[in-house]
A = this chain, B = another copy of it.
């Protein structure tokens, strides 16, 4: 196991009507004037925004609002949020929404207290300081409610990049599974896929003998396989929603990924798709993961055989472990299709003729060295081959 530090000082308030504690929690973590940041109409229509505002008012916390976050959140709104926070002397950013809203909130929180361009953080600068962030989560997916990460799409070129820093870990996150019961099946399935990707990206490691984190990741994957079809079948299943919500947080706060190298090539390869075609990140991952895993499988056949046997219940072919490894990838692909995810470029709205452009931005954009690295280092040719497997 590699040396590491792990620090996850987020207060998780979990359960029915937990959003009513928003005001009390903002105050507990030192906020007196809040930016409420959110996306589109659903948090307004559902009455969630009103309940959050009532809770802030009851706690004597002031607020300003900024809506309009889109899936694959954009740099433009971040600049707007930073300006608004400075003007209004905001001291706390409260995200009400899903991963996109939380990521946009984190970017604003880091940008407000930074003199340079916030994009510096998304070009590799570690985030040392930020306004405190809180979240009221409305979809189990990105894990941003418990992570030190944020992903933003730069509108100047339409490419997605990530930033990180303990300073942007939420001080609190409110997780009410009932808020996710109104999500359409497609969005629910996208969330399930994203959570599973966070687990696979950690599972694909070059660090030997990390049994404890292997087992924890497998536990969360099996939870998703058990609960995923149950919420697709019955969106109102609170218990299944609750299991998925906690699994989604645990999948990405990194308690299950410490001490080991991780992959993140599937995320990187997908990011170019959702940046260019504005498809849902989870949908893009559903198409990307089986292609990447098929392409890199021979780098460590036994690792893919292990997940096939332990998670997917495949029989081990001791004479031909690669048969088992492939069966596990196929089981993942079939599972994702079964919950309604796309399986090809065409279903994402992606085009084969764009592959050279995708590969160029992926491998060379924003200062990258002509390749991406993770479980396996992939050069432009590798990435083109992988995109072609998705067509």
User: Which A residues have a C-beta under 8 Å from some C-beta of B?
Assistant: 1-16, 18, 177, 208-213, 215-216, 218-220, 222-223, 226-227, 239-240, 242-244, 246-247, 250, 255, 258-259
Q: What residues on B are CB-neighbors of A222 within 8 Å?
A: 215
Give the shortest distance, in Å, between A232 (CB) and chain B (any CB): 16
| CB–CB B255/A250 < 8 A | yes
Q: What residues on B are CB-neighbors of A223 within 8 Å?
A: 211-212, 215
28 A-B interface contacts by CB (under 8 A): A1-B14, A1-B15, A1-B242, A1-B246, A3-B15, A3-B16, A4-B12, A4-B15, A5-B11, A5-B14, A7-B12, A8-B9, A14-B258, A15-B259, A208-B239, A209-B240, A211-B223, A211-B226, A212-B219, A212-B244, A212-B247, A212-B250, A213-B246, A215-B219, A215-B222, A215-B223, A216-B219, A250-B255
**A6→B240 CA distance, assembly (Å):** 19
Give the shortest distance, in Å, between A70 (CB) and chain B (any CB): 30
| CB–CB B3/A18 < 8 A | yes
Chain B residue at minimum C-beta to C-beta distance from A3: B15
**A1→B211 CA distance, assembly (Å):** 28
| CB–CB B7/A14 < 8 A | no
Chain B residue at minimum C-beta to C-beta distance from A237: B209
| CB–CB B4/A14 < 8 A | yes
Known: A211-B243, A215-B220. 5 other contacts (CB 8 A): A3-B16, A211-B226, A215-B219, A216-B220, A246-B259
Chain B residue at minimum C-beta to C-beta distance from A240: B209
Give the shortest distance, in Å, between A137 (CB) and chain B (any CB): 14
Chain B residue at minimum C-beta to C-beta distance from A209: B239
Q: What residues on B are CB-neighbors of A259 within 8 Å?
A: 14-15, 242, 246
Which of A212, A213, A242 has the largest count of B CB atoms less than 10 A from its CB? A212
**A209→B238 CA distance, assembly (Å):** 10
| CB–CB B215/A1 < 8 A | no
Q: What residues on B are CB-neighbors of A209 within 8 Å?
A: 239-240, 243
Q: What residues on B are CB-neighbors of A255 within 8 Å?
A: 250, 255
**A210→B8 CA distance, assembly (Å):** 23
Give the shortest distance, in Å, between A23 (CB) and chain B (any CB): 16
Chain B residue at minimum C-beta to C-beta distance from A13: B5
| CB–CB B1/A7 < 8 A | no
The 3 closest A-B pairs by CB, nearest first: A3-B15, A9-B9, A215-B219
Q: What residues on B are CB-neighbors of A210 within 8 Å?
A: 243
Chain B residue at minimum C-beta to C-beta distance from A9: B9
| CB–CB A6/B12 < 8 A | yes
Give the shortest distance, in Å, between A379 (CB) and chain B (any CB): 32
